[in-house]
Amino acid sequence: MSVNVSGQPLPQGIGRVTPGWLAVVGAAAAALAVGLYAYSREASEGLIETGLGDPGTGRGVAWGLYVAFVVYFVGVSFAGITIAALIRLFRIERLQGIARIAELLTVVALLLAALSILVDLGQPLRGIVNLFLYARPQSPFFGTFTLVISGYLFASIVYLYLDGRHDAAICARVPSRLQWFHRLWAAGYRDTPAERERHRRTTVWLAIAIIPLLVVAHSTLGFVFGLQVGRPGWYSALQAPAFVVLAGVSGLGLLIVIAAFMRRVGVARERLDEAVFSLLGRFLMVLLIAYLYFMVAELLTSTYAGSHHEQLITQALLSGEYSTIFWASVGLLVLALGLMVWQAVTHRWSIAALVAAGLFVNVAAVGKRYLIVVPSQTQGQLLPYVPGSYAPTLGEYAVVVGLFGLGVLLFALFMKVFPIVELPEEEVPAGA
């Protein structure tokens, strides 16, 4: 355990290894190993190890489970940095304790999204080289890599770094094996009144800059689908706003789950009180109502006024081969909304119920992302192709499990080297 000369440990269990933490790290590492093995087979044998194939004549899909999780991970990242930026911009003190978890969630989710893209490419090195050789800046696909992955990820890392300098300066005062790391992160920050004020101004201006970037980035990802006029089921003006709203739903839900876990293991329970979760629950409820409205509006339009090809896709969702996933996803969204409406009406917010709602909306979000990607490639095509099919292989599932394992591992490692919940200012020693 890392302690100072007076025997006081670093805050929030930093540097302290416990059996429970080792168990989580071991499980995450095992999941990552499974994913790496599955991807090694895919890299050596090719995409034949997956269920992917050519749409139309090949009766398959070019985009499958990996692309669905690209959209999911990018969506999860949206709520994280948005919540953190809004907390700084409007000085929502009640949610201050959740900000760093949200920032870290964004960075980790974007890294997983980038890896999902590389896995889907089959030959990632060739894809990266061709991006520089043949990319067209006017294409939404180019925006996916530049805005969503590169620019968005860089801005999120900068935001996390600047926000953490205050806590790094506090931890750097404690002699420990991690002192060099905390001094490096603090980079000379002394937490003087002038530095605090300059830091607040910087984070506010960065929040003002990053919020429009988030909306543009997620809209761009929606345009990758929504601007394909030759693909029924994708060509829709609602794709971009629906992407943004469902991103907020899934990200907020996962943020609630992670924050509840941190509270459960005893990390800054006083900063993660029930008032924090009730606010997050209210935000999630509003976003969920908006998304369900978008979904109903799009279904009514495609059912009653859509072309023949659009109606084929809608039929596949409502009563065809994708109906199980569709109705299960809708049912989970409605169930989550019911849980939150009941709590809002009774004014009795339960962390356990909010965690359940957060899990429900994330499972539903994965299902909805899958239904956005796959059915438009197998059903209702404009050319006279027979309907196709797609079933993810065990290797694809294993790679996804490995990605989640990597995400858990990154969170677990971070919380042992740095405060995952922002330290209150009163902990700064006098005379700093």
pLDDT of amino acid 427:
45
CA distance 175 to 3: 7
Residue 132 CB coordination number (10 Å): 7
Nearest Cα neighbor of 113 from 364, 411, 418, 406 is: 406
In angstroms, rounded to a whole number, what is the distance separating the alpha carbons of residues 185 and 181?
6
Q: Residue 408: which of 109, 28, 112 has the closest Cα?
A: 28
We report the CATH number of the domain holding residue 141 as: 1.20.1630.10
> Is residue 174 a part of any domain in this protein?
yes
User: With 70 as the cut, is the pLDDT of residue 149 above it?
Assistant: no
Q: For residue 274, count other CB atoms closer than 10 A to its CB.
A: 14
Contact at 8 Å (CB) between 258 and 79? no
Residues 45-75: tens digit of each pLDDT? 888 889 888 887 777 888 999 999 999 998 8
Structure tokens given for 42: 């895919």
In whole angstroms, give the CA distance from residue 212 to residue 58: 40
Give the pLDDT of residue 145: 64
Compute the distance between CA of residue 344 and CA of residue 115 in angstroms, rounded to an integer.
39
**pLDDT computed for residue 370 by the predictor:** 96
Beta bridge partners of 9: 3
Taking the CA atoms of 204, 206, 207 and 208 in sequence, report the sign of the dihedral they define.
positive
Q: Of the ranges 6-15, 124-133, 162-171, 199-208, which one carries the lowest mean pLDDT score?
A: 6-15
In a domain, 302, yes or no: yes
Q: What mean pLDDT do residues 362-368 have?
A: 96
In a domain, 427, yes or no: no
Tokens 């969630």 sit at which residue? 105
CA angle 10, 408, 62 (to 5 degrees): 155
Q: What tokens appear for 320 in the block? A: 């065809």
Q: What is the SS3 assignment for 409-431?
A: HHHHHHCCCCCCCCCCHHHCCCC
CA distance 411 to 413: 6
Structure tokens at 114: 């980038």
pLDDT tens across 75-124, in order? 898 888 888 888 878 878 788 888 899 999 999 998 999 899 889 887 78
Average pLDDT over residues 329-358: 95
pLDDT for the residue 431: 36
Query: Predicted confidence band at 294 (pLDDT cuts at 50, 70, 90)?
Result: very high
Mean pLDDT of the residues in the chain: 86
CB distance 408 to 108 below 8 Å: no
Q: How far apart are CA 234 and CA 228, in angstroms?
A: 7
Q: How far apart are CA 377 and CA 360, in angstroms?
A: 27
Q: Could you tell me if residue 4 is inside a domain? A: no
In this structure, is residue 51 part of a structural domain? Answer: yes
369 Cβ contact partners less than 8 Å away, ≥ 6 residues apart: 68, 69, 71, 72, 75
Of the segments 101-105, 228-232, 404-408, which one has the largest average pLDDT value?
404-408
State the amino acid at position 129 in one-letter form.
V
Whether residue 1 is contained in a domain is answered as no
Task: Provide the domain count of the chain.
Answer: 1
Any domain includes 53: yes
Alpha helices in 93-230 (DSSP H): 99-121, 124-134, 140-143, 152-172, 179-186, 193-226
- The residues near 137 (Cβ < 8 Å, ≥ 6 apart) are none
- pLDDT score at 369: 94
- Residue 8, pLDDT above cutoff 80: no
Q: Give the residue numbers spanning the domain of 390.
A: 11-422
Report which of 18, 22, 37 is spatially closest to residue 401, judged by C-alpha positions.
Answer: 37
Question: CA angle at residue 162 from 156 to 165, to 5 degrees?
Answer: 140
Q: How far apart are CA 361 and CA 132, in angstroms?
A: 37
Q: What is the pTM of this model?
A: 0.91
113 and 406 in contact (C-beta within 8 Å)?
Answer: no
Residue 75 lies in a domain: yes
Q: How many percent of the chain have pLDDT more than 70? A: 94
Name the band, by pLDDT with cuts 50, 70 and 90, for residue 1: very low
Q: Which of 52, 15, 121 is nearest to 419 (CA)?
A: 15
Q: For residues 274 and 272, give the distance between their C-alpha atoms in angstroms, rounded to a whole number.
A: 7
Task: Name the residue among 61, 153, 75 with its Cα closest to residue 107.
Answer: 153
Residue 40: CB atoms within 10 A of its CB come to 11
Neighbouring-strand partners of residue 3: 9
Q: What is the mean pLDDT of residues 280-290?
A: 94
